[in-house]
């Protein structure tokens, strides 16, 4: 069974997709941009602050699904500049603890709305 998950504590989708989808014991969270749900705008032009907002958005969606970031299985981090990797990694590490989720990180040419960071996740619901 496929179930949509959404919350007003994270920004709404900027296209034809869901914030997250529950399938079995897993939550697939769409890539989160650094949009502050209270304002509908980016929280900052700084990549580190953008990463922090992306992670807060993931946290809110996990909570809405009855889970939390400690149950994250896998993330994908997209950066428009891998030069930001070390700084973004520090803020990322502040949201997770061992055992850390599996992760991929890619530099991409561009992200929606001109973001510098986007983060998606797969989170366990058990």
Q: Which residues are marked as active site? A: 105
At how many degrees (to 10) do helices 47-64 and 85-93 cross? 30
* Helix, strand, coil percent values for the chain (each to nearest 5): 30, 35, 40
Place of tokens 């032009």: 45
Q: List 3's β-bridge partners, or say none.
A: 22
């Amino acid at each position: 069974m496929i179930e949509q998950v959404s919350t007003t504590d994270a920004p709404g989708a900027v296209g034809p997709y869901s914030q997250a989808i529950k399938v079995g014991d897993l939550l697939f969270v769409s890539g989160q941009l650094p949009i502050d749900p209270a304002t509908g705008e980016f929280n900052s032009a700084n990549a580190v602050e953008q990463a922090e907002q992306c992670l807060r958005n993931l946290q809110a969606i996990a909570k809405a699904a009855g889970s939390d970031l400690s149950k994250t299985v896998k993330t994908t981090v997209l950066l428009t500049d891998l030069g930001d990797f070390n700084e973004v990694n520090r803020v990322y590490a502040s949201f997770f603890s061992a055992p850390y989720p599996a992760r991929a990180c890619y530099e991409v040419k561009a992200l929606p709305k001109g973001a510098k960071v986007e983060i998606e996740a797969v989170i366990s619901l058990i």
